[in-house]
Amino acid sequence: MVGAGAGPHPYVGVNCEGIINLAIANGKVNQQTRISKVDQNDDKSIQETLPNSETTVALLVNLLISEGKPGKVLKVHTKKRIGGDDFIASIRKSLQKGYKDKVVGLGGVFVLKEGKAKQHVMRDFSKSRIETEEQLNNWLKFYNMSAPLIALGTLMNDDVILSSRQSRKPIISWILF
């Protein structure tokens, strides 16, 4: 299973991002999940690998779960950005255009071979209520990360699962490491 979301803050000790990469076969766990957290002393991003004994997540995580068997793969190759949308938004818009009446989800891995990506890491839990996108962006810690980067995650072309939310934003969850 691969995906992205909130890491296991009870285990880590602070709020953190989860970069989920876990396999279970024959009753054995192969835990390759990473967490990213913000160092509370110097604001640097810290990344750690979870041990096989830690398999929990917290709050919210979006996952792709498969049997790991060979099959068809969607391969997307790009050289440069030609519009205002980022890579994930471009894929999502293509899915929306091609599958107007169907819900389509994708999950997997992509590699950024060149360039930089702006990525956030959640700080420890906010002491005050976050009510606006501006407050959210002020709470998050953003980093410009240089290639090579590997991203794990999921996306959907529609928000049918969370249809009670007022905004119909599609589910998108990708984390770079």
pLDDT tens readout for residues 132-164: 999 999 999 999 989 898 888 888 887 665 543
Q: Which helix (H) or strand (E) holds 163?
A: none
pLDDT at 162: 53
First to last CA, the chain: 16
Confidence class for position 98, pLDDT limits 50, 70, 90: very high
pLDDT range class, residue 165, cuts 50, 70, 90: very low
What is the C-alpha separation between 172 and 167, in angstroms, rounded?
A: 14
Question: Of 34-48, 87-101, 112-126, which has the strongest mean pLDDT?
Answer: 34-48
Q: What is the pTM of this model?
A: 0.78
Predicted confidence band of residue 175 (pLDDT cuts 50, 70, 90): low
How confident is the model at residue 161, as a pLDDT?
58
Return d(Cα 96, Cα 102) in angstroms, integer.
9
